[in-house]
A and B are shown apart, each in its own frame.
Chain A
Amino acid sequence: MNVGFVMLAHAALDRAGQIASHLAEAGFPLVIHVDSRTSEQAFDTLAAQVKPHENVHFAQRTACEWGTWSLVQASRDAAEILLNTYPELHHVMLISGSCLPIKQPDALGTFLSTHRNTDFIESVTIGDVPWTKGGLSDERFSLSFPFAWKKHKRLFDIWVELQRLTGRKRSLPQGLQPHMGSQWWCLSRTTLERILRDSRREELAAFFKKVWIPDESYFQSLVRLYGSRVESRSLTLSKFDFQGKPHVFYDDHLLLLRQSPAFFARKIWPGANRLYRVFLSRQLSRETKSAVSAAHIDRTFAKAITMRTRGRPGLVMAGRYPNKGFENGLTGAPYSVFQGFSDVFTSFPDWVSKATGSRVHGHLFARRRVEFHGDQSGYAGALSENAKLRDYDAPSFLRNLVWNTRGEYQSFLFSPRDRQIVGKTLAGDRNANIAVISGAWALPLLHSGRPTDQVRRIAAILQKREAAFLELLHARDARCRARIWTLAEFLERPNDTLQDIVDSMSGAESHLISTPPALRSMGGLANFLQDLRNAGMNPHLAGDVVDPDPPKSAPWAIRPS
């Protein structure tokens, strides 16, 4: 046979044995290196398992610590044995005990026989490596790493810091350009022999002994010195999570793996019985899907990384509770808030629904109860109309409402008469489109017919609340989109501002307002405001409302266009 395997194994040896037997049966020789720290019992079971196969050999067991030279030494020693025992091999492939062949073994043989002098090893210059997650990249080569990262983390860190402080830099062996890549390679015999037997091997080994994670850079760098044709890709499919640890494949990844163009995949969960059964079966179909589907694999795992690092904005749940400033958005979708509009117009929510097709709730934060759209007693996600329940955690209520109705633009009414606790959340939410007609609270008071001194007191309270809300909207840490008009300003040109508001809600579509909403009666407003002033209050938020005389062409009446 033309291809041999070096297998590094330390855990789940029964699976390693299964793979070894499978490959051996297909005629491929193997040398297995089992970590010396694995139990004797497990080793003996493995040895017994592969005994019937003459082409399975064992290398001397050594202790292999992650990220150290011992792994490279083990693969070199095992590769030596393989090359010496089988002179007809023209390729050697390095796999682990948790790798799984996802193609028929002879497919690999056929493939490699047409690429006799090509080395398949991911080999990327350190400047171009995008994947070192938190791990050092060029410092792997410029600093020395005598301590194992997993076992002596503190020493490791201290030594790195010391070197950085002293500015110490190691000198590279002549002609060596540091490269990095996946440690699961498939090298041609010629290249491998040169690496193992070259006169410079001691010098290079001495350098790489102090490099961090040399199994990702030793062969990858040397292949550039000794290799003739290098294809910088690994034949083993391996995906990494946001911590740089390999993703594990399970039974439900079966179809995904069938789509991959790779010959092996790692890591496989030892309990994935279906995967082992299907891929080690002789009946495994030879046809594979096109490489277009391989992008599907990348997408699946890329989504996992995004989910872990960015989460879903606007969602707070058992696994996600972002600190202030890290939310990526306080709510999950844009929405609109209208303050003062229901005081100025009659049936404003209905009009908005007709004009834009979206549903407008009433006063969601009204004191007595939540006024959902259509006067319902609850809403999406089983939100309750109970005001006490809502006020217990008003930001959560708002967040839940927006989250539960994603895809359906939400708007609601707000007013100084409502509970103001949600004001800060609204102001800080970049998804909030807030439109305010300040001073509009004067209109219901105008029509209430109550005595002046009572009205004056209420007006003062409402104005104070509205002023506080407006201050939040103007604050430096406000993120919302706020448009504020005084009552006087709004009444001068109501149509334009309404069109503006409707446009911001509809999104891509633009609805031209055909029928404007009906204004409430404004008669006596200017006098009313003057009365308030006379009583000692200053209704400044309403602006300068002009006297309604003469009635023929009142400035704020809507002219039909």
Chain B
Amino acid sequence: MGAVSALRLRIERRRWQLRAFRKGRDLSVVADRSGMVGPNAVLLFATIRNEKPRLPFFLKYYRDMGVAHFFIVDNGSTDGSAEMLAGEPDVSLWRTETSYKHSRFGTDWLNWLKFRFGHGHWTLTVDPDEFLVFPFCDTRPIPALCDWLDQSGLRALGTLLVDMYPKGPPDKIAYTPGQNPFEIASWFDAGNYAVSRNKKYGNLWIQGGPRARVYFADEPEQAPSLNKIPLVKWDRRYVHVSSTHMLLPRGLNLVYDEAGGEKASGCLLHAKFLDSFPQKAAEEIARRQHFARGREYDAYHLKGQGPQGLWCEWSERYIDWRQLELLGLMSKGNWA
């Protein structure tokens, strides 16, 4: 990497840091329990809006996994999500009514919180409908993974965002709060992902899956990015650029092996296509708060899904992490 591009990226990183400071001022604290965070705690950062039915399972899933504390930004929820979270003993909550889009879809708010509370900790940044799966996650909690990453000298874990969907239209089966969403959205696409490399940041760019297949087949370049690096050993100098797709400094994006081997990687199961989806899509179009003026949500709304939904006869039913590893969607790397 030339000196000029190195300088450019450093300036860019500073820009995002400054933005985070500015946008951080839009946050007002509702509950700050960060004092109880221990030195080796794994911390989770998320932005939510009207996710009350999903939150009980979300919190339980990550608590069972070994996440010690949740740092959450509530973007003007009206369904009681904020009240519910404020009462949880391992949650620190901030609230803001400002634009999701203008904080770059929550990235700036979370960069600010990670700057303040994440330094020296392993931090997991996810959306409320993303569930991390990593090798051996059924027998080893996330602190084991983080200790192993520390020992191996790795600072981040790459993942593939795997869209999960039900058989049939998403609103056919109602989701009960506290239920495992993957009992309903149990299917995924096993092998239609295209991978290329982003020359600027060095991260892998992955597209494909059911959304590309159903909504963006005729404009594949518009399909959403499925590459995410959610788990990072945070340092004050780091920033996420554009959701958790990539990071600066760009060395953090090298979560893949370039010499023919495999580095350990995980999956983020995306429980987006549940019964709340059509209604959410409509709402998000009206709010126009999403990426590229909600182009994605337009596609969902206009095209609909047909009687089978996203499901097709080659969809794979989810079993466990070993299945994902065998299919090649994640890797054990050097972990045994």
Are A and B genuine complex partners?
A: yes
Q: Using a CB–CB distance below 8 Å, which chain A residues touch chain B?
A: 241-243, 245, 247-248, 250-252, 269, 271, 300-301, 303-305, 307-313, 315-323, 326-328, 377-384, 386, 388-389, 392-393, 396-397, 400, 403-404
* Nearest-Cβ distance from residue A267 to partner chain B, whole angstroms: 9
* Nearest-Cβ distance from residue A419 to partner chain B, whole angstroms: 14
Q: At the interface, yes or no: B336 with Cβ under 8 Å from chain A? A: yes
Kindly list chain A residues whose C-beta atoms are within 8 Å of the C-beta of B329.
Answer: 317
- A321 and B204 contacting across the interface, CB-CB below 8 Å: yes
Kindly list chain A residues whose C-beta atoms are within 8 Å of the C-beta of B219.
Answer: 388
Of chain B, the residue at the smallest CB distance from A394 is B194
Excluding A307-B334, A319-B255, 5 further A-B contacts by CB distance (< 8 Å) are A317-B329, A382-B190, A382-B314, A400-B192, A400-B193
- B333 and A307 contacting across the interface, CB-CB below 8 Å: yes
Task: Indicate which residue in B139, B192, B216 contacts A381 across the interface (CB closer than 8 Å).
Answer: B192
- CA A327 to CA B260, docked complex, whole Å: 5
- CA A403 to CA B326, docked complex, whole Å: 11
* Nearest-Cβ distance from residue A384 to partner chain B, whole angstroms: 5
- B212 and A317 contacting across the interface, CB-CB below 8 Å: no
- CA A380 to CA B313, docked complex, whole Å: 9
- CA A379 to CA B331, docked complex, whole Å: 24
Tell whether A320 pairs with B256 under 8 Å between CB atoms, given A304-B334, A380-B191, A382-B191. yes
Tell whether A311 pairs with B151 under 8 Å between CB atoms, given A388-B218, A396-B195. no
- B262 and A308 contacting across the interface, CB-CB below 8 Å: yes
- B261 and A318 contacting across the interface, CB-CB below 8 Å: no
- B217 and A321 contacting across the interface, CB-CB below 8 Å: no
Of chain A, the residue at the smallest CB distance from B267 is A318
Tally of contact residues, B, Cβ under 8 A = 60
Kindly list chain B residues whose C-beta atoms are within 8 Å of the C-beta of A381.
Answer: 189-192, 314
Name 12 interchain pairs, CB-CB below 8 A, sorted by A: A243-B152, A250-B139, A304-B336, A311-B261, A311-B262, A312-B262, A317-B265, A317-B328, A318-B159, A320-B256, A320-B263, A382-B312
Most chain B C-beta atoms within 10 Å of own C-beta, residue among A241, A251, A308, A379? A308
Kindly list chain A residues whose C-beta atoms are within 8 Å of the C-beta of B196.
Answer: 393
Of chain A, the residue at the smallest CB distance from B227 is A318
Task: Indicate which residue in A242, A315, A378, A400 contacts B334 across the interface (CB closer than 8 Å).
Answer: A242
Kindly list chain B residues whose C-beta atoms are within 8 Å of the C-beta of A252.
Answer: 136, 139-140
* Nearest-Cβ distance from residue A443 to partner chain B, whole angstroms: 33
Q: At the interface, yes or no: B291 with Cβ under 8 Å from chain A? A: no
- B260 and A388 contacting across the interface, CB-CB below 8 Å: no
* Nearest-Cβ distance from residue A134 to partner chain B, whole angstroms: 13
Of chain B, the residue at the smallest CB distance from A316 is B195
Q: At the interface, yes or no: B315 with Cβ under 8 Å from chain A? A: yes
- A245 and B151 contacting across the interface, CB-CB below 8 Å: yes
Tell whether A318 pairs with B160 under 8 Å between CB atoms, given A252-B139, A307-B334, A382-B314. yes
Q: At the interface, yes or no: B221 with Cβ under 8 Å from chain A? A: yes
- CA A386 to CA B312, docked complex, whole Å: 14
- B264 and A319 contacting across the interface, CB-CB below 8 Å: yes
Tell whether A319 pairs with B257 under 8 Å between CB atoms, given A378-B312, A386-B217, A388-B220. yes
Kindly list chain B residues whose C-beta atoms are within 8 Å of the C-beta of A377.
Answer: 312
Q: Using a CB–CB distance below 8 Å, which chain B residues touch chain A?
A: 136, 139-141, 143-144, 147-148, 151-152, 158-160, 189-197, 204, 206-207, 210, 212-213, 216-221, 227, 255-265, 312-316, 328-336
- CA A323 to CA B174, docked complex, whole Å: 46
Kindly list chain B residues whose C-beta atoms are within 8 Å of the C-beta of A392.
Answer: 194, 207, 220-221
- CA A269 to CA B227, docked complex, whole Å: 30
Task: Indicate which residue in A250, A300, A320 contacts B261 across the interface (CB closer than 8 Å).
Answer: A320
- B217 and A317 contacting across the interface, CB-CB below 8 Å: no
Tell whether A322 pairs with B259 under 8 Å between CB atoms, given A242-B334, A269-B147. yes
- B331 and A317 contacting across the interface, CB-CB below 8 Å: yes
Tell whether A326 pairs with B260 under 8 Å between CB atoms, given A252-B136, A318-B204, A382-B213. yes
* Nearest-Cβ distance from residue B164 to partner chain A, whole angstroms: 13
- B151 and A403 contacting across the interface, CB-CB below 8 Å: no
Tell whether A393 pairs with B194 under 8 Å between CB atoms, given A318-B227, A378-B312. yes
Q: Which 7 A-B pairs have the closest CB atoms?
A: A381-B191, A319-B265, A304-B336, A393-B194, A308-B334, A392-B220, A382-B189
Of chain A, the residue at the smallest CB distance from B257 is A320
Task: Indicate which residue in A269, A307, A389 contacts B332 across the interface (CB closer than 8 Å).
Answer: A307
Kindly list chain A residues whose C-beta atoms are within 8 Å of the C-beta of B140.
Answer: 250-252, 269
- B195 and A300 contacting across the interface, CB-CB below 8 Å: no
Of chain A, the residue at the smallest CB distance from B216 is A389
- B195 and A386 contacting across the interface, CB-CB below 8 Å: no
Of chain B, the residue at the smallest CB distance from A381 is B191
Kindly list chain A residues whose C-beta atoms are within 8 Å of the C-beta of B207.
Answer: 392
Kindly list chain B residues whose C-beta atoms are within 8 Å of the C-beta of A269.
Answer: 140, 144, 147
- B334 and A317 contacting across the interface, CB-CB below 8 Å: no
- CA A322 to CA B258, docked complex, whole Å: 4
Tell whether A319 pairs with B333 under 8 Å between CB atoms, given A326-B259, A381-B190, A392-B194. yes
- CA A533 to CA B320, docked complex, whole Å: 63
- B193 and A396 contacting across the interface, CB-CB below 8 Å: yes
* Nearest-Cβ distance from residue B168 to partner chain A, whole angstroms: 16
Kindly list chain B residues whose C-beta atoms are within 8 Å of the C-beta of A305.
Answer: 334
- A389 and B195 contacting across the interface, CB-CB below 8 Å: no
Kindly list chain A residues whose C-beta atoms are within 8 Å of the C-beta of B197.
Answer: 321
Kindly list chain A residues whose C-beta atoms are within 8 Å of the C-beta of B204.
Answer: 318, 321
- A301 and B336 contacting across the interface, CB-CB below 8 Å: yes
* Nearest-Cβ distance from residue A397 to partner chain B, whole angstroms: 8
Kindly list chain A residues whose C-beta atoms are within 8 Å of the C-beta of B312.
Answer: 377-378, 382
- A250 and B144 contacting across the interface, CB-CB below 8 Å: yes
- CA A243 to CA B329, docked complex, whole Å: 24
- B328 and A315 contacting across the interface, CB-CB below 8 Å: yes
Of chain A, the residue at the smallest CB distance from B313 is A378
